[in-house]
Amino acid sequence: MRCKRIGAGAALAAGALAVTGLAFAPAALAVTPQTATISADCGSFGSGEATLTATQNGTAATLTVKSSAITAPIALGEDSITSALTLVKSGGGTVDFTGTENPAMAAGAPVEVGPLSGTVASGDSLDAFGGSLRMTVFGITITCTASGPQSPGPFVFD
């Protein structure tokens, strides 16, 4: 009987410690907003609205770019585009997000690249306006720029 009480007491104490640990655990880092839109101009490859989606895990961040207005000029295989997205910091400077990830796309399909990886600092405020997206496909580089600030506003990282 005494062993059962000690075991139950130990289980209750362990549960209380776990709950206390969760209460004092640091909050998960987040970027706000998580999605933003820009009006992108990719020259002869198209122009129109593009959506940027951001995630953050500590100082590591990723961005994905999708646009139904900008289309693949030819069929492209998975992970066949080398991309570099440069965002502008509000206090000056830039942050680059790079990678070779993309889904397979048929000719004329909406363009999607990412997630592209980069490093951010707490408090970084980043906007696509003034930066660029460079995509290299079969040795041809396509450069897209934003014609104005992203909406609803810059990405702010915790």
- Report whether 141 contacts 96 (CB < 8 A): no
Instruction: Report DSSP letters for 52-106, one per residue.
Output: EEEEEETTEEEEEEEEEEEE-SS-B-TT--EEEEEEEETTS-EEEEEE-----B-
Mean pLDDT of 60-88: 95
Residue spans of the domains in the chain: they are 31-147
Judged by average pLDDT, the poorest of 7-21, 28-42, 101-115 is 7-21
Token pair of 134, please?
Answer: 């460079």
Q: Which residues pair with 146 in a beta bridge?
A: 40
DSSP code at position 34:
S
User: CA 130 to CA 105: how far, in whole Å?
Assistant: 28
| Whole-number Cα distances in Å, 27 to 24, 57, 61, 116, 118 | 9, 11, 17, 24, 21
Q: For residue 148, how far is the Cα from the chain centroid?
A: 19
Query: pTM of the full predicted structure?
Result: 0.80
pLDDT of residue 45: 86
Q: Are 149 and 130 in contact (CB under 8 A)?
A: no
- Look-up: residue for tokens 């600092």? 121
Q: Does CATH number 3.40.50 belong to domain 31-147?
A: no
The predicted-structure confidence for 88-105, as pLDDT tens digits, reads as follows 999 999 999 999 999 999
- Give dist(CA 74, CA 133) in Å, integer: 19
Q: Rounded mean pLDDT of the chain?
A: 86
The stretch 143-154 carries a mean pLDDT of 96
